[in-house]
A and B are shown apart, each in its own frame.
Chain A
Amino acid sequence: MVKLRARCLVVGDAAVGKSALCHTFYSDGTLFQKNYSMTTGVELIMKCVNIPESSDSVELYIIDSAGKETLVETCEKMWGQPSLLCLVFDLTSQQSFANCSCWMERMAAHCKGLQIQGVLVGNKSDLSARREVQESVAKEWAQSQGLEYHETSAKEMENCDAPFRRLAQAFHSLYQQRRDTIQNLGPA
């Protein structure tokens, strides 16, 4: 039995639903805050995810960071060194999708050369009439960045677990790979 720990950074433009997604995941789909309250700093949420078909688990330290441009610089100081990335955009806002590449660049500066596994999340899938970003387009960009693509609706509590569970599983697989490598190392 192993308990892994991962620092999961959640970023994306303001009002795309990062906090709503985090809270829905944290509360197992029982909590969706109807009133918008902008995150002005960084909120830390901890949740333990069990890895299927094993006795292992991953403690996700979810860093929900403000998306508003003027606050980003201050928040970045609290990002630390991320283990995982959850990049969120709003399916009804082309601009929030376009800005994803900026977020990737910002994040890369904190990774100190380590490769970070991540997901791209298109949120607000319930607002289908107002959709501006097509699934195929988002999926293609995600692939080009090495991210796995998910669509969610925090409001309808749809699919909000999936991105976080996948991240936990990816981190667990990486651990197993690295542990095997270390087991087979040659002497100094």
Chain B
Amino acid sequence: MFDSVGPHVVMAASSDENHPPENITDGNTKTFWISTGMFPQEFVLRFAEPTQISGVTVDSYNVKHLKIDKNTTQQASQFEPVAEKEFECTEGQLQSNYISLNGSSATQLRFIIASGYDHFVSVHRVSVKY
């Protein structure tokens, strides 16, 4: 179950009811959230309070270009870019990428999947390093 201080998904651009966005933060790479068509795709993680974050590890499949924005308020406006990364294609197995956020403080992180190696991409786990 949720780590009480860990982030929760508060928004996702796609939803298959059998693969809800909550699967991103359940700590299990067997469960996943899947996009249901077109790019960009995004989801937002919210922390209970402003939190210093060293980086995040994203376990995914067929994600090509990922951008991360952050904000430091409870409102979902005024995001600013903090990091972006081009993932390698890993056919037949999950991608696992660490993205440094340099200890930035954030209340919300927005993950924007700008492009993919396929029409549909999945995110299995986002783990946060504090």
Contact = CB atoms under 8 A, between A and B. Distances in A.
B93 A187 contact: yes
B30 to A, nearest CB: 9
Given A2-B16, A188-B95, A83 B32 contact: no
Contact of A81 (B15, B39, B90, B94): B39
A185 B93 contact: yes
Interface stretch (B75-83, B103-111, B115-123): B115-123
Nearest to B38: A5
Interface of B is mostly: loop
Interface in B66-115: 90, 92-96, 115
A126 B117 CA distance: 42
A129 interface: no
B120 A179 contact: yes
A186 B92 contact: yes
Interface string B15-56: 111110000000001001010111100000000000000000
Contacts of B34: 178-179, 182
B37 A185 contact: no
B32 to A, nearest CB: 6
A23 B54 CA distance: 52
Interface residues of B, number: 28
Contact of B94 (A5, A61, A186): A186
Interface string A165-176: 000000100110
A1 to B, nearest CB: 6
A9 to B, nearest CB: 12
Interface residues of A, number: 24
Contacts of B14: 5
Contact of B36 (A4, A185, A186): A4
B93 A175 contact: no
Contacts of A1: 17
A179 B36 CA distance: 10
Contact of A4 (B37, B95, B116): B37
Contact of B16 (A6, A112, A174, A179): A179
A7 B38 contact: yes
A178 B94 contact: no
Contacts of B93: 185-188
B118 A178 contact: yes
A61 B61 CA distance: 25
Interface in A130-188: 171, 174-175, 178-179, 182, 185-188
22 contacts: A2-B17, A6-B37, A6-B38, A61-B38, A81-B38, A81-B39, A83-B38, A113-B117, A114-B117, A114-B119, A171-B37, A171-B119, A174-B120, A178-B119, A179-B34, A182-B120, A185-B92, A185-B94, A188-B29, A188-B90, A188-B93, A188-B95
Interface of A: 1-7, 58, 61, 81, 83, 112-114, 171, 174-175, 178-179, 182, 185-188
7 nearest CB pairs, A to B: A188-B96, A5-B37, A188-B94, A2-B16, A4-B37, A178-B120, A186-B93
